[in-house]
Amino acid sequence: MKLIDEFRDPDLAHRLVDSIRGLATRRWTIMEVCGGQTHGLLRHGIDEELRDVVELLHGPGCPVCVTPADAIDHAIELSLRPGFLLTTFGDMLRVPGKERSLMQAQADGAKMQMVYSPLDAVKLAQEFPSTQVVFFAVGFETTAPATAIAVSQAAALKLQNFSVLTAHVRVEPAMEAIAQAPDCRVNGFLAAGHVCTITGYEQYRQFANRYRIPIVVTGFEPVDLLEGIYRCIQLLEQGSTEVVNAYARSVRVAGNSAALEILQQVFVIADRPWRGLGQMPQGGLVLASAFREFDAVEKFALHQSSVDVEEECQSGAVMSGRIRPTQCPHFGTRCTPQSPLGAPMVSTEGACSAYYRYTSLAPL
């Protein structure tokens, strides 16, 4: 608790705010990539406190939000088949597919169980050999190693009733898509600290040089976020495009070698459709050929996912920083956590849910 309290110290936070104000000679535009950081910034009022010196844009850092509706529909389809049990994290239950969510399907008799780890799904497959146990795998590089371990363990156990519906995505391709956009206004990025604990941050150096955009790796507590903003503005004021690690207590330059090794064994990088953002080149992970027998899409002959077209939900514009959630005409009216048009309103890392929960603009 002492380590957490240090990064919630109000006196230190106020000093960092004063330092940011004293450092900035203009209003800079910075995008945080991680949805957890978005919630932290709004929960602690940092975006409002610094509004006159920093414009904070909210990036596509919520893997639940970018999971295609087709993938959710696949999960629903499998959960309704006799002899099947769908397992997944709780975040996915309320996210709408094309017509309904997993939770709504459960009310219609779908068989599903929330788990805290992919290894829980492996254990269920061992306990119930006559049931096809499917793990709906969602997340960035942070959660993908656990899925890789589960698949590797299932292979070692020769489990024929375990499979994975894979929707893992990668962060850097999304950052690249934003940086390449002709209307990009991002001056600097705050990189997702939890992702960098796995991947490290060496790969960001080429990105920063290519697009002339500095990157600061940071965490999630208020002092972490303020220090990340301060370091980013420091680089911008110097005209530097360096990559700086402001989350040294958790992140190393080379990341986690053991996690990277299991990822490379079990997954390969592939193009993936991202909900609201279209086809993302090298934007996801799929099972390598040696583990393809555990791919639920192939194993159960599911129709391949296509690029989603969001007709009403403006999640793509929100997650690329083109609009704020409150600029969506449906925010807080037709789209609420109780009746969402899209994933960003119900995901625990979604920008729309953060604005609905923490800002005075949310309806009473």
Alpha-carbon separation of residue 102 from 75, 137, 296 (angstroms): 8, 14, 17
Q: What is the pLDDT of residue 2?
A: 57
DSSP label at residue 163? E
- Contact at 8 Å (CB) between 4 and 221? yes
pLDDT tops 90 at residue 210: yes
Nearest to 273, CA basis, from 203, 353, 174? 174
Contacts of 245 (CB under 8 A, 6+ apart): 196, 201, 216, 217, 251, 253
Domain boundaries, the chain: 67-170+256-299
- The reported pLDDT for the residue numbered 312 is 84
Whether 20 has a pLDDT exceeding 60, the answer reads: yes
pLDDT at 157 exceeding the cut of 60: yes
Q: For 67-170+256-299, CATH number? A: 3.40.50.11740
Ramachandran sector of residue 38 (left: φ over 0; alpha: ψ -120 to 50; beta: rest): alpha
Contacts of 323 (CB under 8 A, 6+ apart): 314, 317
pLDDT higher than 50, residue 15: yes
**For 257-299, what is each residue's pLDDT tens digit?**
999 999 999 999 999 999 989 999 999 999 999 999 999 999 9
In angstroms, rounded to a whole number, what is the distance separating the alpha carbons of residues 298 and 158? 18
- In this predicted structure, the answer to whether residue 310 has a pLDDT above a threshold of 90 is no
Could you tell me the pTM of the whole model?
A: 0.93
Helix (H) or strand (E) holding 160: none
* Whole-angstrom distance, CA of residue 161 vs CA of residue 17: 54
The DSSP secondary structure of 262-305, one letter per residue, reads: HHHHHEEEEEEEETTTEEEEEEEEEE-GGGGGGBHHHHTTPPPP
- Summarised one tens digit per residue, pLDDT across range 73-102 is 999 999 999 999 999 999 899 999 998 999
**Tens digits of per-residue pLDDT, 24-39?**
999 999 999 999 999 9
Contact 229, 50 (CB under 8 A): yes
Inter-residue contact 33 to 59 (CB < 8 Å): yes
Does residue 309 have a pLDDT over 60? no
The confidence band for 161, taking pLDDT boundaries of 50, 70 and 90, is very high
CA atoms within 13 A on the CB side of 217: 27
Stretch 106-112: mean pLDDT, rounded? 94
Question: Whole-angstrom Cα distance, residue 232 to residue 235?
Answer: 5
